[in-house]
């Protein structure tokens, strides 16, 4: 029975991003949690868990202050927000967003992910899980993307990787990971490709860029999934396009659509 259980050790890892202004001065403790302690994921984790049916879902807090992001300061964040309300032409108005990467902040989050990975290994050992029989699936949002890279780098060769669902990743193009380690890799967010959509409807919290190499993946192995054109404009914008509270279009992805994640 134990051998049969170990052969089915599929574990789902959720990594949240910045938890908002009230928590801005906090820094992740890198601890493993067995529940969504802050309610960050709303009902999305329930939907994904029911779809994947892992033997266990675990949570890590990928929250870091705004100073660790491309915005660097709350003032720069506020200025970008204000300007975005009046700019429409996507190609000509992208200057309003804070596009410049923050290497120090990004790499700090990667290093924290490494610590989290070691805590995850300790959890496996404590529960007598055979790491060689474990497959990890990742779901990240925003700042959680950088955090996941640290975990992936630390865990490579120690576990197997399954699927990666990266929702509105922050600074995605700054650094990638070996996509071939995963069965599927999907990135969900707004479209800033080409002319894209009007700036006032774009994700200003984490201006979207592609995870390196994701556009070269076979169609069945992953890619980028953009907000459907029919999704109401009232549910888009600098904050709404990014925040999970307005990300319900994620539920509209059907089994015959690209980006529909299966067990």
Distance CA 19, CA 205 (A): 12
Distance CA 56, CA 176 (A): 26
Residue 8's pLDDT is: 67
Residue 57's pLDDT is: 98
Residue 263's pLDDT is: 61
Q: Which residues of the chain have pLDDT under 50?
A: 1-7
Residue 6's pLDDT is: 40
Output the six-digit token pair for 134. 């474990």
The residue with tokens 């051998």 is: 3
pLDDT tens-place string over residues 66-111? 999 999 999 999 999 999 988 877 777 889 999 999 999 999 999 9
Residue 30's pLDDT is: 98
Under DSSP, is residue 226 helix (H, G, I), strand (E, B) or coil?
A: strand
> What percent of the chain stands above pLDDT 70?
95
Residue 4's pLDDT is: 37
Residue 123's pLDDT is: 97
CA nearest neighbour of 150 among 102, 105, 115:
115
Residue 5's pLDDT is: 40
Q: Does the pTM exceed 0.85?
A: yes
Cβ-contact 69, 107 below 8 angstroms: no
Output the six-digit token pair for 248. 């319900």
Residue 192's pLDDT is: 84
């Amino acid at each position: 029975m134990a051998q049969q259980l170990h052969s089915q050790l599929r574990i789902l890892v959720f990594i949240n991003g910045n938890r908002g202004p009230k928590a801005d001065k906090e820094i992740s403790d890198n601890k493993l949690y067995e529940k969504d302690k802050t309610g960050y994921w709303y009902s999305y984790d329930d939907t994904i868990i029911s779809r994947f049916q892992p033997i266990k879902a675990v949570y890590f807090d990928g929250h870091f202050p705004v100073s660790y992001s491309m915005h660097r300061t709350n003032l720069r964040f506020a200025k970008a927000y204000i300007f975005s309300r009046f700019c429409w032409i996507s190609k000509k108005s992208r200057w309003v967003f804070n596009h410049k990467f923050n290497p120090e902040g990004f790499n700090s989050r990667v290093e924290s992910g490494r610590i989290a990975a070691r805590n995850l290994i300790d959890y496996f050992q404590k529960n007598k899980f055979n790491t060689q029989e474990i497959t990890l699936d990742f779901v990240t949002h925003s700042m959680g993307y950088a955090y996941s890279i640290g975990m992936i780098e630390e865990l490579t060769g120690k576990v197997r990787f399954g699927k990666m669902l990266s929702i509105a990743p922050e600074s995605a193009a700054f650094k990638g990971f070996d996509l071939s380690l995963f069965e599927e890799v999907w990135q969900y967010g707004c479209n800033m490709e080409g002319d894209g959509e009007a700036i006032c409807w774009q994700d200003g919290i984490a201006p979207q860029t592609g995870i390196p190499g994701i556009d070269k993946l076979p169609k069945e192995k992953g890619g980028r999934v953009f907000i459907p054109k029919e999704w109401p404009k009232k549910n888009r914008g600098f904050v709404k396009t990014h925040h999970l509270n307005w990300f319900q279009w994620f539920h509209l992805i059907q089994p015959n659509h690209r980006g529909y994640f299966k067990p």
